[in-house]
């Protein structure tokens, strides 16, 4: 358990954030499916990315750490079933708790020789995957699931071209997985989204990464994507840009401590939906400024003495929902977040986890199927300090910790879960000047 408390005032600090795991996982899958060697620089640490590196080997590629970069040697473009694996003995690989990798690896595995069994831990066996499996089956893949969930086995075979519909209201990762695998299909692959897409910005990120790897994804109409026959990934040298979600925690720290925090090394043109988080803070009353730097853009957030609640649809920046929710109890008026029903199927039920944690502090929280309404305690009622459960979820642990910047004595159970995406989080928070006691897993 760790305890968070404010540090000396005023807060005026700079922070560094790791590279985007969202970019990293997409680049690693594309590199594994590339004939030749790709070099990736600025890869973040974290369990999700380490699992993706292991997945490269499961797909038949290899990796080598060269100090300043990771070299990824992909598999031959003409690899055929049985060319390098015994299809009767499935390769087993764990995706840990990464739902993203579960979807991406399942699709990629349908394009390579051999059979791959995909496993995981935590809530990975509850993460939806049936919509993706059905779409891959339409394209010729042979996949055996466990009641429609992982563990699942992708058997040796060839992915044909064709047009497939994929449910978009559960996860954008179904479509992203199909697109990442499409350059190795026998013909053109067209993907049509069914329903109102969630996390649409992550589809934009997939398209962007594929373009940087040499594959153009056509967009012939709303919710439609096409990868032409003969499209192939090209080897290259790529740098992973800074993670806007990780940056959101430090921007939120400035808002809560009414201080100033600057984060450098971010991509101003990033498709990451969380790129818009500083604008939400501006609407709440903070000052936000940006300046170009040698590493991209330098963003400074200066907090305000009074924050305002706001209504916001966060379906395109879902990983910043816990961050905004942690600020909301300290704002005047209600903050109403909607468009996030899919957050019930993450490492935790994030809607329920946030309602539980913030409610224990005395905030008034109403949870719905689609979102949260959050207000400060009723008039005259005080906030309370408490030990808050991370619910085994890295995003919940980091977000709820921020409340300790206003409420000395807040404690987080299970702080080691931040290793999934940001192993250095507790250390980084302490380097800003906040008191972090007993930082297990830092």
Look at residue 59 in the predicted model and tell me its pLDDT: 93
Look at residue 438 in the predicted model and tell me its pLDDT: 83
* Position 84 confidence tier, pLDDT thresholds 50, 70, 90: very low
- Say if CB 102 and CB 345 are below 8 A apart: no
Q: pLDDT tens for residues 346-355?
A: 999 999 999 9
Identify the CA nearest to 158 among candidates 81, 226, 55, 90: 81
Look at residue 81 in the predicted model and tell me its pLDDT: 39
**Residue 439: pLDDT above 90?**
no
Look at residue 392 in the predicted model and tell me its pLDDT: 95
Look at residue 294 in the predicted model and tell me its pLDDT: 87
Q: Is 78 exposed, middle or buried (0-12, 13-18, 19+ CB in 10 A)?
A: exposed
393 is an active site residue: no
Is the whole-model pTM more than 0.85? yes
Q: pLDDT tens for residues 64-77?
A: 999 899 999 999 76
What's the mean per-residue pLDDT of the chain? 93
**Residue 110: pLDDT above 70?**
yes
What domains are there in the chain, each with its CATH number?
Answer: 2-19+242-437 (3.65.10.10), 21-239 (3.65.10.10)
Look at residue 80 in the predicted model and tell me its pLDDT: 47
Of the candidates 243, 264, 319, 393, the residue annotated as catalytic is: 319
Q: pLDDT tens for residues 357-374?
A: 999 999 999 999 999 999
**Residue 393: pLDDT above 90?**
yes
Q: pLDDT tens for residues 251-290?
A: 999 999 999 999 999 999 999 999 999 999 999 999 999 9
Look at residue 85 in the predicted model and tell me its pLDDT: 43
pLDDT (mean) for 182-190: 97
Q: pLDDT tens for residues 417-435?
A: 999 999 999 999 999 989 9
Look at residue 170 in the predicted model and tell me its pLDDT: 84
Q: pLDDT tens for residues 222-260?
A: 999 999 999 999 999 999 999 999 999 999 999 999 999
- Encode burial over 101-119: b for 16+ CB neighbours within 10 A, e otherwise: bbbbbbbbbbbbbbbbbbb
């Amino acid at each position: 358990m760790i305890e968070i408390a404010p540090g000396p005032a005023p807060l005026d600090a700079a922070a560094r954030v790791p590279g985007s795991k969202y970019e990293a996982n997409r680049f690693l899958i594309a590199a594994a499916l590339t004939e030749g060697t790709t070099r990736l620089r600025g890869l973040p640490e974290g369990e999700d990315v380490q699992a993706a590196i292991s997945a490269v080997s499961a797909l038949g590629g290899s990796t080598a750490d060269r100090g300043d970069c990771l070299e990824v040697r992909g598999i031959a473009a003409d690899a055929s079933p049985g060319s390098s694996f015994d299809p009767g003995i499935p390769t087993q690989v764990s995706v840990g708790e990464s739902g993203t990798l579960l979807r991406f690896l399942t699709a990629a595995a349908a394009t390579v020789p051999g059979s791959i069994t995909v496993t995981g831990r935590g809530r990975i066996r509850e993460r939806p995957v049936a919509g993706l499996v059905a779409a891959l089956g339409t394209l010729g893949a042979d996949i055996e699931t466990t009641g429609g969930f992982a563990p699942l086995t992708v058997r040796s075979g060839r992915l044909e071209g064709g047009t497939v519909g994929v449910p978009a209201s559960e996860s954008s990762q179904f479509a992203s997985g199909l697109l990442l695998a499409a350059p190795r299909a026998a013909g053109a692959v067209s993907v049509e989204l069914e329903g109102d897409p969630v996390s649409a910005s992550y589809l934009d990120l997939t398209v962007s990464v594929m373009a940087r790897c040499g594959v153009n994804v056509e967009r012939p109409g709303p919710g439609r994507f096409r990868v032409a026959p003969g499209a192939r990934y090209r080897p290259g040298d790529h740098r992973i840009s800074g993670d806007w979600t990780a940056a959101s925690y430090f921007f939120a720290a400035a808002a809560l401590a009414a201080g100033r925090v600057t984060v450098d090394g971010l991509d101003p043109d990033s498709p990451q939906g969380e790129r818009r988080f500083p604008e939400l803070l501006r609407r709440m009353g903070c000052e936000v400024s940006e300046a170009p730097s040698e590493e991209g853009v330098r963003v400074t957030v200066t907090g305000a003495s009074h924050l305002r609640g706001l209504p916001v649809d966060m379906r395109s920046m879902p990983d910043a929902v816990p961050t905004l929710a942690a600020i909301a109890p300290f704002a005047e008026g209600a903050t109403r977040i909607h468009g996030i029903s899919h957050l019930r199927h993450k490492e935790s039920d994030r809607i329920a986890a946030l309602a539980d944690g913030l409610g224990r502090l005395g905030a008034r929280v109403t949870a719905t199927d689609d979102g949260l309404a959050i207000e400060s305690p009723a008039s005259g009622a005080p906030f309370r300090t408490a030990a808050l459960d991370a619910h085994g979820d890295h995003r919940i642990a980091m977000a709820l910790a921020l409340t300790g910047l206003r409420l000395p004595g807040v404690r987080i159970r299970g702080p080691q879960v931040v290793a999934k995406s940001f192993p250095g989080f507790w250390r980084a928070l302490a380097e800003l000047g906040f008191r972090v006691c007993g930082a297990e897993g830092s």
